[in-house]
Structure 1
Amino acid sequence: MAMLVLALLPLLATSASAAGGCAAEASLSSPNGNAYAACSDLPRLGATVHWTYDGAAGSLSVAFVAAPAAPGGWVAWGLNPFGEGMAGAQALLAAPSSSSGAWAVRTYNISGYALGAPGPIAFPATGLAAELGADGRVRVSGTLSVGQGAAVLNQVWQVGSAVSGDGIPAPHAMGGDNLAAKAKLDLVRQTTSSSDSGGSGLARERNIHGILNAVSWGLLLPMGAIFARYLKTFRSADPAWFYLHVTCQIIGYGVGVAGWATGINLGNASNGVTYGLHRSIGIAAFALATLQVTI
């Protein structure tokens, strides 16, 4: 019985996350003193979002709580009316003042994969405020006009480690959690859900890319070379070694082409994200393999 309970714990945790709820700060209230209607622990960067949606007024009161990547860093949360991810996000970014140290919130209409300058956003914002808690986490709150009848919104969030002397946030890290910091905000069901699970979207394509190239460059092509190098020394293996060599090389190259194609597609779908060394190694390996096949 105990083993059954332990086995079911991950499923129960997943269900609780999908249904909303926060592990901490359950009693967090909005600036007007009213408790937020919903709360959810976000799946990345240890962040939490609290919100109340007034359908009649079309307003979304929100409080985003997260710790900066380092002391003196920044935190940001936003909604993207154009799609998932950073490009197109209408963001609230909180950072400390270089002179007084007081936290302030600025709005950003992020048109690409660079933050740009602060300015008006598509969702008119009022009551913006930010404060640093004793636990090192920053609370960013405000009210956004998202319109009547809003149901499911794309939300993104991020944390950074530094702010320059003139108040410009330094770029955030490019780790897996940073790149995957996005989710759906369901105003009707009062839940959040991940926008890109491990079995779909870019994450799934990255897995396919890795598996294809591991099978090609790490298994089939080396096996073909081993057959040609060692089996041909045995007279009894002639001409079997040659057919094994050719079969492994042809299949390995074909699988490598598929891995190359998925890599190109991933690059095209990941604007602003470049892995220079990885790309250079891939180009060199594919060029040498193609040369070997053609001569």
Structure 2
Amino acid sequence: MLPFIVTVFLLFLSSPPPVTAVSSRCAAAAAKTFKKCASLPTQDASIAWTFHRHNATLDIAFFGSFISPSGWVGWGINPAAAEMAGTRALIAYPDPNSGQLLLLPYVLDSAVKLQKTPLLSRPLDIHLLSSSATVHGGRKATVHGGAAIEIRASVKLSHNKTKLMHFVWNRGLYVQGHSPTIHPTGASDLSSAVTVDVLSGNAPRVHNRRDFSTLKTAHGFVNAVSWGILLPVGSVTARYARHIRSLGPTWFYVHAGIQLSGIALGSIGFGIGLRLGELSPGRAPGMHLKLGVAVFSLGILQTTAVFFRPERTNRFRKYWKSYHHFVGYACTVLGVVNVLQGFDLIGEEGPSPPSYYGLLVYCLCLSTLGGVCVALEVNSWVVFWRSAKEDKLSSTSSS
């Protein structure tokens, strides 16, 4: 019952919040040119758009504002997910030489997000029909802090990918040459991404990045504890505790309890991962997803195998035991590998102190467990050789 309640609660957290009330600029633009408009969750930005079904063309206007006279404002489309990496953007800023407003195309790849390479303009690989940028206030309007800007674009979409659009926007303080510098990293600045249903006639609903991050954190924590810690502890318990005669059958119940808890918790984490996939359609985590499916499948097989365990006197008991050991160790090893793969994916998205400390704590737990395993393994071999030596001496003395 508890896992079900936790799952429902986490899914509730992921439910998309409604878009806020439309701004006056958005409403005015929609009344004149566009069919729909909505205010975006951050930076007092808004969008207005018209989707032409007959030719799958999206006409859109983004309304934002500058935060400095030498700053930049950008808006773009991410074909895969509502996040910065992978966004095809149009960024407007005053020309450093003439002061005239420029609008150039940029591709925000992972290297740019990690600040490994500067952001340089390059052609977009989406079918951009037209684009323009205008500073509000008349022909003589200049860029200043708080100046309102409108970025318009017309995009030709694929007919099979026309319902959900991932929009990303942001703004920065200054531009170096023609390379926009990093934007502020406040909570609102890091949440400037939404997924909008452009076909809906009602007010669209968006997937807030903050809720997405909450789910992603829950997914990582739950899976690190279940597949990455509980299952290895359960395997270690089965391998070393069963040889302690004073425990009797207690070791088996401890082992089964730990493993079942790990599988139950891991199932919740797996479900959260599937939900994350639904919230970011088109994004393919690749090996992380494949390993996750493999680990979950092995975990379910391992759990159901308990109900088919033969009696000790059954001749098939040794085959079942070999199968149980193989599947158990495979599930444990792949689970640890996939947890580390998950941390690696988080690292690719940019530096994050919580994820760094999370990885540090997990590696500390894993290394501690590894040290315990080494000590127990050495002890078991010492006991084995000592017992073998004593048996040999006793047999020699008796003869």
If the TM-score is normalised by the length of the shorter chain, which range does it land in?
0.5 to 0.7
- Which of residues 137, 152, 166 is equivalent to 1:142? 152
CA spacing shift, 1:267–1:187, aligned 2, 3 Å? same
- Between the aligned partners of 1:22 and 1:192, the Cα distance in structure 2 is 11
- Between the aligned partners of 1:107 and 1:91, the Cα distance in structure 2 is 6
Deviation at 1:51, TM superposition (A): 1.4
- Which of residues 206, 225, 237 is equivalent to 1:194? 206
CA spacing shift, 1:270–1:174, aligned 2, 3 Å? farther
1:17 maps to 2:18? yes
Q: Which amino acid aligns with 1:194?
A: V
Residues 48 and 60 in structure 2, CA contact (< 8 A), matched pair in contact too = yes
Deviation at 1:205, TM superposition (A): 2.9
1:283 is matched with 363
1:102 is matched with 100
Residues 126 and 144 in structure 1, CA contact (< 8 A), matched pair in contact too = yes
1:82-141: CA deviation from partner (whole Å, max 9, x where unpaired): 444333322111122223433321112345442743232212242411316688154232
Aligned-residue CA RMSD (Å): 4.7
Q: Which amino acid aligns with 1:29?
A: A
Q: Which runs of 5+ in 2 are unaligned?
A: 1-14, 113-117, 138-143, 227-249, 266-331, 376-399
Deviation at 1:168, TM superposition (A): 0.8
CA spacing shift, 1:102–1:62, aligned 2, 3 Å? same
Question: SS of the counterpart of 2:205?
Answer: strand
1:117 is matched with 120
Q: How does 1:162-173 map to 2 (within 5 A)?
A: 162-173=173-184
Deviation at 1:202, TM superposition (A): 4.8
Task: Give the number of the structure whose alpha-carbon radius of gyration is greater.
Answer: 2
1:271 maps to 2:269? no
Question: SS of the counterpart of 2:103?
Answer: strand
- Between the aligned partners of 2:119 and 2:146, the Cα distance in structure 1 is 27
CA spacing shift, 1:145–1:158, aligned 2, 3 Å? closer
- Between the aligned partners of 1:153 and 1:271, the Cα distance in structure 2 is 25
1:92 maps to 2:94? no
- Between the aligned partners of 1:116 and 1:59, the Cα distance in structure 2 is 28
Residues 95 and 102 in structure 2, CA contact (< 8 A), matched pair in contact too = yes
- Between the aligned partners of 1:288 and 1:188, the Cα distance in structure 2 is 53
1:151-175: CA deviation from partner (whole Å, max 9, x where unpaired): 3243232323333341210123445
1:230 is matched with none
CA spacing shift, 1:99–1:213, aligned 2, 3 Å? same
TM-score normalised to structure 1 length: 0.63
Question: SS of the counterpart of 1:66?
Answer: strand
Deviation at 1:73, TM superposition (A): 2.4
Deviation at 1:184, TM superposition (A): 2.0
Residues 160 and 170 in structure 1, CA contact (< 8 A), matched pair in contact too = no
1:126 maps to 2:130? yes
CA spacing shift, 1:263–1:40, aligned 2, 3 Å? farther
Of 56-65 and 283-292, deviating more is 283-292
Question: SS of the counterpart of 2:18?
Answer: helix
Identity level (%): 16
- Structure that is richer in strand per residue: 1
- Between the aligned partners of 1:28 and 1:259, the Cα distance in structure 2 is 54
- Structure that is richer in helix per residue: 2
- Between the aligned partners of 1:213 and 1:197, the Cα distance in structure 2 is 22
- Between the aligned partners of 2:341 and 2:88, the Cα distance in structure 1 is 29
1:29 is matched with 29
Q: What is the number of equivalent residue pairs in this alignment? A: 255
